[in-house]
Structure 1
Amino acid sequence: MDLLALDVRLDGFDDPVGVFVRDERGAVAFGYNRRYLANPDAAPLSLSLPLVGGPYPDVAARAFFDNLLQERDGALTEVMEREGLARDDIAGLLFHLGKDCAGALSVLPMGSPPAKVPGDYERDYVPIPPDRLAAIVEALHNRTRLPTGMEDPSPLAGVQSKIALTVLPDGRFAEPNPGSGAPTTHILKVPDQGHKRDARYEAEAMDLSRKLGMETAEATALPVGGIEALLVTRFDRGRDRLGRVVRLHQEDFAQALGLPASMKYERRGREGRRFDVSGIRKILEQTVDPARAKEAFIQATIFDLLVGNADGHAKNFALLYEPGGRVRLAPRYDILPTRLDDSLTDELPYSIGEAKTLDEVTPSALDAFFQALGIENAAGRRRLAQRYARDIAFALASHLKALEKNEKRFADLIASNIRALLGALEIEIPDAARERDAFISKAGGWHMS
């Protein structure tokens, strides 16, 4: 295997910020450039790659850069077959796919010009005609080849079909001009034929998250050619002083913990190297406001329990970086009530104490969860557990009647989850949840406390 060195670029900086190297044995390493380390606006690429001289050896570098590749197999498989590359040849794959990494980073052959630059609405985008948009959505829905000239949506992480596009100031959809390097502003997620209501479910869940005061990405269910898709505003975009669209550096919790995408669930790791609450605590304590970040994570955890989202894994939580390396928790995104799908597991992405499902959550499990987040006072932990569970449950219960108009099963699921959690904690159950039907699964089962 030949030596391979690649420039690592971060949108907003003129020069490469570092070098990613593969040696003759296939091991990889990463090191920051000295000029970048001396820049007062420099931010680390990851909490797992602090701003030091380095270099970072294979384990740390491999985990972070592997996360820049897509999770779905389409473009990866094509490049692997065409170039004769193995899946673990991260550098070789990024040589061909690195210009389209998700976010503000790009990994390019050494000496290449920047592949990502700010986007000018007037110059850098071409509107997408309605019939072309409908063809794109239909192809994503049916899992068939995209229309001619449309790139595979491989830069986006996750296993759902989705494509990145831009919404112009006049509301029209557009795509960046080929070769412009301009950012997109939105993600269009398209469910497959077996999950036609997922866009509606996720839109409702994210709307509830916002209504309860949690910082959440904007998302709207959008019918396109008879197929309902989900339009999500990207939280990792901003505007510069010239009004151009710019990318904001972000990383997900898998990257921050130095875990590959394959270890995004706690159950796939081992103690000391997994997505668990003790690891999450380490991330939250490095943000600019650890107390607020912990509060937001606690709220997200209880909210997900109650709306039936068992897929809040390490790649569905993220951090946003500010100039100078300040880090804050990103808005929530990818909140789907997975318990509505009987084919999916109800096992939680990370344990709450010893509890691995909602039905196993007890006062002692919640107490252990709060303790793992660093809350030492036992009486304080009990008060917090009772307060957060009650406040979020009662707030959700107040929206059940409105939710029932379009999504009765979802409303029934939330009510059943409220009864289960509050019952276990011996908290009064709100009338709106107590009086609802039990949640009926399509498999014929039912869930209630």
Structure 2
Amino acid sequence: MDSYIELFHEGTWHRAASLTVDDGLVQFGYEASYVFGPLQNPPCVALSLPVELTRRTWTDQAVTPLAFLWDLVPQGRGRDHIAGLLNVPSDSSRQDLYLAQHGAFAPIGRLRLDTAVDFYNQHTAGMRPEGFTTQEMHDRSETFVDQLRMYNMLAAGTPGVQGIAPKFLLTQDEEGRWFPDVGLADEHARQHWIVKLSRGTHADDQRILRHESIYLQAAAACGIRTIDAPEYRDDMLFLRRFDREVDAAGSVRRLHQETLAALIGYHGFARSASLFALTERLAQVASDPAQAVAEFLCRDVLNRALRNPDNHLRNTSVQQNLDGTVQLTPLYDFGPMYLDRALISRTCEWRLPNGGSTDNWNEILETLALDDDVKAHAAGVLRSFGEDVLPALPHELRFRDADADIVEICKTAIGYQIPKLQDIDCRAAPSP
């Protein structure tokens, strides 16, 4: 099946590259009209694929520069919905890119596939959402439910957002009314949201969702970039999208985004990798390697300190700002996942070259294949994090009304992390 990869830049969708998927072979190439077109320095569709006039063919393999395509593949309930419309099995990895070619009509980031846009338009032809009020959404009114059902290719399961928990991509207009994202034209969009529901009906599922807001606020208090002003109300978590901006003139701007899985070239939905490899690749693409590495390592500390074992490859991403700056996205999918009944465990660890793993920060910093100044900066930031930030973390949780049992179990984990960070050798490190 043939598709065009379209990229949003300077207020317009551009046909950037062609994509052919055929029985395990994937062909990719930038369009000549894009390479030599009117754009000066046309943006790449992925950080691993510079803009050049070369057409390449890849077979199914563990590592590929086309791994960014799996960031566009529907997952969760959205995948099931689109697979049902196509009459193909939703649990087959061989259907991944075929589902993207029909479901990537409004994914996170600045890319889409033209065949998916056509597929969406065919299945919503003649239907125009009226929008709904905040109260109608909170009340789960018939208007709210009907419009999500009408646009459920986008909203009920959100093919554009990966993960298991139900998520809705919603946009507010000038009057504050809510719409399924693609159901509202850019010129009327003022705020873009992801609205999450709990992944199940168990009491702990709701606790996890409520504490995701608390955890994000606590992380922000620790100096970590997080989603702006998360809010939990009426059993829903409201998160502002960080891949969308609306400028002073009311124009929507879309920011490029890639998961760590895409950065290191892992296709499919593998969840596991060495944190050494991830950190080193992040340093290669980040505009400020020292800052990005230090923040990534502090996020790993927070995952351990706040008992969030869900650190798989797609729970961390980078974004490229309009000025070309590449940095970590704000922190997301961050909560007390140790409560999940699926018994989630850490999948990305500090795996040593000769086998085994470590949580000794001096050994980690020594092993990382990074410039000395990057490692020295990270050492200073980590030690300061352990001395000045982590001791206040239980208070930050209590201040935001975290459940007492969660605070207590996190206090133990925090207490375990503090001396490990204070033991870091910073003799060669500059002041953070």
Q: Shared topology, TM-score over 0.5? A: yes
User: Would you say the 8 A contact 2:106–2:182 is kept in 1?
Assistant: no
With structure 2 as the length reference, what TM-score do the two structures score?
Answer: 0.78
Offset of 1:234 from its aligned partner? 0.5
Match of 2:110 in 1: 104
Offset of 1:421 from its aligned partner? 1.9
In structure 2, distance between residues paired with 1:380 and 1:150: 48
In structure 2, distance between residues paired with 1:237 and 1:260: 25
Offset of 1:409 from its aligned partner? 1.9
For 1:180-329, list aligned pairs within 5 A: 180=185, 185-191=192-198, 192-194=200-202, 195-224=205-234, 228-240=235-247, 242-266=249-273, 276-323=275-322, 325-329=324-328
Cα deviation, 1:403-430, whole Å, max 9, x if unaligned, reads 5x44212211221012212345676xxx
Alpha-carbon RMSD across the aligned residues, in angstroms, is 3.8
Match of 1:419 in 2: 415
With structure 1 as the length reference, what TM-score do the two structures score?
Answer: 0.75
1:57 is the counterpart of 2:90: no
In structure 1, distance between residues paired with 2:117 and 2:377: 56
In structure 2, distance between residues paired with 1:236 and 1:10: 13
Structure 1 295/237 Cα, relative in aligned 2: closer, same or farther at 3 Å? Answer: same
In structure 1, distance between residues paired with 2:296 and 2:220: 14
For 1:115-126, list aligned pairs within 5 A: 126=131
Quick one: which amino acid aligns to residue 385 of structure 2? Y
User: Would you say the 8 A contact 1:20–1:28 is kept in 2?
Assistant: yes
Match of 2:149 in 1: 148
Structure 1 131/158 Cα, relative in aligned 2: closer, same or farther at 3 Å? Answer: same
Structure 1 401/16 Cα, relative in aligned 2: closer, same or farther at 3 Å? Answer: closer
Q: Of residues 383, 388, 394 in structure 1, which corresponds to 2:385?
A: 388
In structure 1, distance between residues paired with 2:42 and 2:252: 20
Match of 1:69 in 2: 73
User: Would you say the 8 A contact 1:307–1:337 is kept in 2?
Assistant: yes
Match of 1:161 in 2: 166
Question: What runs of 5+ residues in structure 1 fail to find an aligned partner?
Answer: 116-122, 267-274, 428-449
In structure 2, distance between residues paired with 1:81 and 1:87: 17
Offset of 1:185 from its aligned partner? 0.5
The alignment covers a number of residue pairs equal to 397
User: Would you say the 8 A contact 2:304–2:413 is kept in 1?
Assistant: yes
Offset of 1:374 from its aligned partner? 4.4
Question: What runs of 5+ residues in structure 2 fail to find an aligned partner?
Answer: 122-127, 424-432
Offset of 1:180 from its aligned partner? 4.3
Offset of 1:221 from its aligned partner? 3.5
Structure 1 17/241 Cα, relative in aligned 2: closer, same or farther at 3 Å? Answer: farther
SS of residue paired to 1:262: coil
User: Would you say the 8 A contact 2:320–2:327 is kept in 1?
Assistant: yes
Identity %: 20
In structure 2, distance between residues paired with 1:50 and 1:103: 18
Match of 1:399 in 2: 396
Quick one: which amino acid aligns to residue 193 of structure 1? T
SS of residue paired to 1:196: helix
1:344 is the counterpart of 2:343: yes
Cα deviation, 1:56-84, whole Å, max 9, x if unaligned, reads 43253653223311221544464367344
Match of 1:46 in 2: 46
